[in-house]
Amino acid sequence: MELHTALAILIMPPFAPLVGLLMAFVFWFFPATNPLAKLSLPLAILCFLTLWICATPAFSGWLGQRVAKLQPPVPEIEPTAVVVLGGGRYRDAVSGAERLSAASLERVAWAAAQAPKDLPILVSGGRVYSDEKVPEAQLMADALENLFQRPVSWRENCSRTTAENATNSAALLHDAGVEGVVLVTHWWHMPRAAESFARAGIQVQPLPVGSPGELVPRAESGLLRWLPSAAALLRSQVYWRELVADQWYRWRPLPVRRSC
């Protein structure tokens, strides 16, 4: 797990407010003369409100707008390849069977439908955990070739993070004489991914899956925007993680090319 991911988990809901509520519960049993005992009720109220607000569509939409403002400008380039970034996999703990996650499959389908048909495709993603059977790039290539009849020219099988996606893919692309690509990933992941590829020496024409216009579903409009939901909390987590990761990537040097 990358440090920025762990940091985001620690500071964002539901972990941080739940820890605060636990502390408030403990403070409640302190002697009345202890200053911490007086903090019990205010801390509990603050943590409850924080958890409530962060789980509302209104807050997740606001947070998503912060991510949307990070979208990179679209350069005027002539891309000569398509790069599709992996978004995870599902693994059966009993049988060990593996398949693309919904995010990965959505990116693969988007690339097959929206990317220029005449450009070669590179898929990027390795094994994040040692017990995974095949690289994620292999699962993506199988889906592109078998489900969508799109040939895959390169399989970048070694990366575990977005930064490694960029450095490993750039090495393969530079060897093939490619300097500009159409990059396919989700819109909320695009700012960090495009910046990483640019730092690795690859010009990017973004082809994001979805858009910030999807921030608040129609079913969560009106007063429902202020009622908490699991879906809104999940979106808040995704956007919060990207904001933290964007800052982390800005000062962290890109890793060297990783071998499997």
- Per-residue pLDDT tens over the stretch 93-114: 888 899 999 999 999 999 999 9
Q: Tens digit of pLDDT for each residue in 8-67?
A: 777 788 899 999 999 999 999 999 888 899 999 999 999 999 999 999 999 999 999 999
May I ask the CATH class of domain 81-210? alpha beta
Domain limits, the chain: 3-68+224-246, 81-210
DSSP sequence for the chain? --HHHHHHHHHSTTHHHHHHHHHHHHHHTS-TTSHHHHHHHHHHHHHHHHHHHHTSHHHHHHHHHHHHTTPPP-------EEEEE---EEE-TTT--EEE-HHHHHHHHHHHHHS-TTS-EEEE---SSTT-SS-HHHHHHHHHHHTS----SEEE----SHHHHHHHHHHHHHHTT--EEEEEEETTTHHHHHHHHHHTT-EEEEEEES-GGGSS-GGG-GGGGGS--HHHHHHHHHHHHHHHHHHHHHHSPPPPPPP-
pTM given for the model: 0.89
Confidence of residue 3 (pLDDT cuts 50, 70, 90): low
